[in-house]
Amino acid sequence: MELTSGGLMVTVAGLALAALAATVWLWPRLGAAGWRAVTGRVGALVVCQALTLFALGLAVNAYFDFYGSWSDLLGTDTSTAPITPAGAGLQVLGTRDVPGGRVEQVVMPGPSTRLSEEAYVFLPAAFFKDRARRFPAIISLTGYPGDPRNLMTRLDLPGRLALAIGQGQVKPTILVMMRPSVVLPRDTECVNVPRGPQVQEYFARDVRRQMIDHFRVAPGRDSWGILGGSTGGYCALKIAMSHPDAFSAAVSLSGYYRTILDGTTGDLFRGDRRLADRNDLMWRLAHLPAPPISVLVTTSRRGEADYRSTERFLAAVRPPMRASSLILPSGGHNFNTWNRELPQALPWLAQQLTVEAPSPT
């Protein structure tokens, strides 16, 4: 069984419980004096603890996705991949069919920024039925440091979107899943760093251009949305607010509203106060014209640190910008909370997107 499979975790957890029950049952027989009884007691305790630790280790690894396979864990994975220059064009690394469509693993180059990052693109079944059709698209971002696979394994974004399409809640929509940290280990907070990586430009321009050119995404702003959690939520709001010509809607799951500066980011603004202000969403709402976009922000009254700041953000929004909220009674900053919000948040975002009908020829 695969290292991250649910079957393995259930099996090991079952063995741990069985070992515990067997130890309790046999303990009176192991209570006698003598080296055999002592060895039996030690052996029973070692087996119970080993199986329990193994089960906990599997659960922690599945949650944080530290290791993706046995060879990765054991250090025997020697597979490599070619270095792909940003100007070399989009590269497809693999494909697999999923319910409702297909997921393609790609390298997303940035011709204008010279950045490049891995992405997973969900193509709905309708994409393969009508080769002339253009589709709306959603960019989905993880938190920091993030692994785009978590958007599939932990949040099941392709499955949720396929279900909403199948139920007629939304029109067929393409989903591109990425992490915002395109220059790991640095956290750039989706900032166009002076004399550094132009990360906001990469998502707002390069990723859009690649999707339009290679996956028949409609180019108009009304066909584009962006969603993210935590750091990705801050990035989603900021990119949409900064580029209303490119995006019409955004969803922030447990996002924040001002750039975080710490040891992982370094000096993102290089003393440029105006740049720092433009990356502060509350400053933008107070000092710049409101962008004509729709946003949905989520938080929890108990368990999330951004509840009060979210209330202030919502109060500061002015037309033509429109804001909605999804506020849970309780929920921490984790996948469980976002899984409770996504059944509403993802269809909401897809419902904001439209594709302009082609002009008659």
Q: Which one is predicted more confidently, 359 or 273? A: 273
**CA atoms within a 13 Å half-sphere pointing along the CA-CB vector of 358:** 7
Contact 293, 244 (CB under 8 A): yes
Q: What is the pLDDT of residues 342-356, one digit of tens each?
A: 999 999 999 999 997
**pLDDT for position 35:** 78
**pLDDT for position 39:** 86
Q: What is the pLDDT of residues 220-230, one digit of tens each?
A: 999 999 999 99
The arithmetic mean of pLDDT across residues 181-202, rounded, is 96
Would you say domain 86-351 falls under CATH 3.40.50.1820?
yes
Mean pLDDT of the chain, nearest integer: 91
Lowest mean pLDDT among 8-17, 187-196, 284-293, 317-326: 8-17
**pLDDT for position 10:** 87
**pLDDT for position 85:** 52
Alpha helices, H only, the chain? 6-26, 35-64, 70-74, 126-129, 150-153, 157-166, 199-201, 208-215, 231-242, 273-278, 281-287, 307-316, 335-351
Q: What is the pLDDT of residues 275-332, one digit of tens each?
A: 999 999 999 999 999 999 999 999 999 999 999 999 999 999 999 999 999 999 999 9
pTM for this entry: 0.80
Distance, C-alpha 257 to centroid of its chain: 18
**pLDDT for position 112:** 94
**pLDDT for position 79:** 46
- Return the DSSP state at 28: G
Contact 316, 285 (CB under 8 A): yes
Task: Quickly list DSSP for 204-228.
Answer: IIIIHHHHHHHH-B--SGGGEEEEE
Contact 225, 251 (CB under 8 A): yes
200-239: buried (b, 16+ CB within 10 Å) or exposed (e) per residue? bbbbbbbbbbbbbeebbbbebbebbbbbbbbbbbbbbbbb
Starting at the edge strand that comes first in sequence, how are the strands of the sheet with 91-98 ordered?
Answer: 91-98, 101-109, 116-124, 174-178, 137-141, 224-229, 249-253, 294-302, 322-330
What is d(CA 228, CA 272) in angstroms, rounded to the nearest whole number? 26
**pLDDT for position 83:** 46
Distance, C-alpha 338 to centroid of its chain: 10
**pLDDT for position 61:** 75
Q: What is the pLDDT of residues 61-107, one digit of tens each?
A: 776 555 666 766 665 654 444 444 544 588 999 999 999 999 999 99
What is d(CA 356, CA 123) in angstroms, rounded to the nearest whole number? 19
> Residue 178: beta bridge partners?
141
Is the pLDDT confidence value at 116 over 80? yes
Domain spans in the chain, listed from the N-terminal domain onward: 6-74, 86-351
Task: Quickly list DSSP for 118-185.
Answer: EEEEEEETHHHH-TT--B-EEEEE--SS--TTHHHHTT-HHHHHHHHHHTTSS---EEEEE-S-TTTT
Share of the chain above pLDDT 70, in %: 91
Share of the chain above pLDDT 90, in %: 75
